Chain A
Amino acid sequence: MSATSNQITQLVEQIYREEGGRVLAGLISHLRDFDLAEDVLQEAFIMALKSWSQDGVPANPGGWLTVTARRKALDRLRRNATLAKKTEQLQNITELVQEAEEVDDAEVYTDERLKLIFTCCHPALALDARVALTLRTLGGLTTTEIASAFLTTEVTMAQRLVRAKKKIKGAGIPYQVPPAHLIAERISGVLAVIYLIFNEGYNSRSGEALIRHELCAEAIRLVRALHQLIAQEPSLSPNSEVLGLLALMLLNDSRRKARLSPEGELVLLEEQDRNLWDKIEIQEGLAMLDRAMYLRNPGPYQLQAAISALHAQAATPEATDWSQIAALYGELLRLHPSPVVELNRAVAIAMADGPLMGLALLKPLEAESILDDYYLFHAAKADLLRRAGNFAEAAIYYKKALVLTQNPVEQSFLQRRLAGVGG
């Protein structure tokens, strides 16, 4: 391969990484067809490799790719025998191609990724379909990578994607940013999908560690993109929960390297080596949280981010402001009452005021049996009993917790604790 064609290959790869997503989003939006868009984009990139080495790199590579892909889509649709179905699409495309030719290689091509995020996260799609589609089309992950991340087979994941795309087409799910009166609840839906992706990567089960971290990185990238896209959209005002989720994920992610020992054992927050926490991520997380709070529109992600921030800012476990953390959990309870949040608050109060105070708060939760199947409840109670010196009862609850988790890392941790109380 000559030096020039090598350079072109590298450049095309760079364009793919930097602009591929935007171009794809634009194509999906115009063609109303995920698969067609992916296919013609791939063809356009192949053409770019040939044509740019002969004619040079265009001034607007993204625009060039868009126009080329649209032309290829038109060719395909023309060749397609069942034109009756496609007549509306054909007209659409013909108009687009004419439009594009008039504008001369499209000086400007709009960033359609915002529309795509809302389409992939539409509430009419099942949650696992939203996650898969978002990772595939916005994250650019392959079906194999997504299947591996969610511990399912490639066939299952491929079917899930096919069904999701069929639902979008069949049910008429729109390719648009939702109208003003729906935007708040739809953004919250998008954030839920992104947070799910993050947690899937953060709370690694078994499976390749690399893919798991890639999920966290992808989630952070997605929420950043969402934030930027909203900022660029004049009809939308900045959203404090988008910033809040970004802050929360950055702050949690900053502890990534400290959470597992070299032997792969779980390391609790209070035992983590804080030198391994990513200071740059913490700084950015704190800055995002500040910007969120400045908008004076509190919400659950901001509150959780604030809690994570208090940990991040404590130089040592002893320096942690547990009273403030407990207060924040209290706020979170007001907004989103949930037994898990009550549990977390009880643990925080135990840290601030002693294990007996925490145990008292756990009593009503246990009486209502809501968290009976939640291993963290039993693990937390065991821990408080241990700290209160009640080893015998602590052992009982460590055993209860052990029964409820299949995660080998968590099991190993609980075994050690159980041994520590003579169980």
Chain B
Amino acid sequence: MKYMVLIYGNEAMEAQATPEQQGAMYAAYNVFTEDLHKTGLMVSGDALQPTTTATTVRVREGKTLITDGPFAETKEQLGGFYILDCPTLDEALEWAAKIPGATVGSIEVRPIAIYPE
């Protein structure tokens, strides 16, 4: 079953990190991604640029509305994702817990929808 693993973190706090702390985070993510890759469970994954670079699009009554920023102001912001293909939820949860961001933020694990052909 495919799962999307969404990595939420507090951007304001992350912005206060020293270069050493940032470097440590990158290294941790590299190690994690490598380990994950070796299991064959990983379909894809990427970091996102911060929500300051986001643009939100809505179409209402035929009008396209474009606003600066993420879809809503939230306490934690989406910073990256992985897509995993796991036999059960437990494997996805296990790997979600190993994500470096899990120790300071929140990781949402959601199955990808399956539609009958």
Contact = CB atoms under 8 A, between A and B. Distances in A.
A171 B86 CA distance: 11
A171 B90 CA distance: 10
A174 B117 contact: no
B1, B90, B111, B116 — most chain A CB neighbours (10 Å): B90
Nearest to B93: A124
A172 B116 contact: no
A174 B90 contact: yes
A182 B90 contact: yes
Contacts of A122: 89
A330 B82 CA distance: 45
Interface in B83-105: 86-90, 92-93
B116 A174 contact: no
A84 B1 contact: no
A85 interface: yes
Nearest to A175: B88
Contacts of B93: 124
Interface in A178-192: 178-179, 182
Contacts of B111: 170-172
A82 interface: yes
Interface in B1-21: 1, 3
Interface in A367-401: none
Contacts, number: 29
A173 interface: yes
B114 to A, nearest CB: 8
A82, A171, A176, A179 — most chain B CB neighbours (10 Å): A171
B116 A173 contact: no
A63 to B, nearest CB: 28
B89 A172 contact: yes
Interface string A55-99: 000000000000000000000000000101100000000000000
B107 to A, nearest CB: 13
Interface in A110-164: 122, 124
B89 A85 contact: no
B88 A172 contact: yes
A174 B89 CA distance: 7
B7 to A, nearest CB: 18
A366 to B, nearest CB: 32
Contacts of A176: 88
A124 B116 CA distance: 25
Contact of B88 (A82, A170, A173): A173
Nearest to A124: B89
A178 B111 CA distance: 20
A346 B86 CA distance: 50
A158 B95 CA distance: 33
Given A171-B111, A172-B111, A178 B90 contact: yes
B117 A172 contact: no
A167 to B, nearest CB: 10
A356 B69 CA distance: 60
Nearest to A169: B111
A82 B93 CA distance: 31
A170 B89 CA distance: 10
Nearest to A182: B90
A84 B116 contact: yes
A171 B1 CA distance: 8
Interface in B60-92: 86-90, 92
Which 9 A-B pairs rank lowest in CB-CB distance, beginning with the nearest? A174-B88, A172-B1, A172-B89, A85-B116, A84-B116, A172-B88, A171-B89, A173-B89, A171-B111
Given A171-B110, A171-B111, A173-B88, 7 more contacts: A85-B116, A170-B111, A172-B1, A172-B92, A173-B89, A176-B88, A178-B90
Interface of A: 82, 84-85, 122, 124, 170-174, 176, 178-179, 182
Interface of B: 1, 3, 86-90, 92-93, 110-111, 116-117
29 contacts: A82-B116, A84-B116, A84-B117, A85-B116, A122-B89, A124-B89, A124-B93, A170-B111, A171-B89, A171-B110, A171-B111, A172-B1, A172-B3, A172-B86, A172-B88, A172-B89, A172-B92, A172-B111, A173-B88, A173-B89, A173-B90, A174-B87, A174-B88, A174-B89, A174-B90, A176-B88, A178-B90, A179-B90, A182-B90
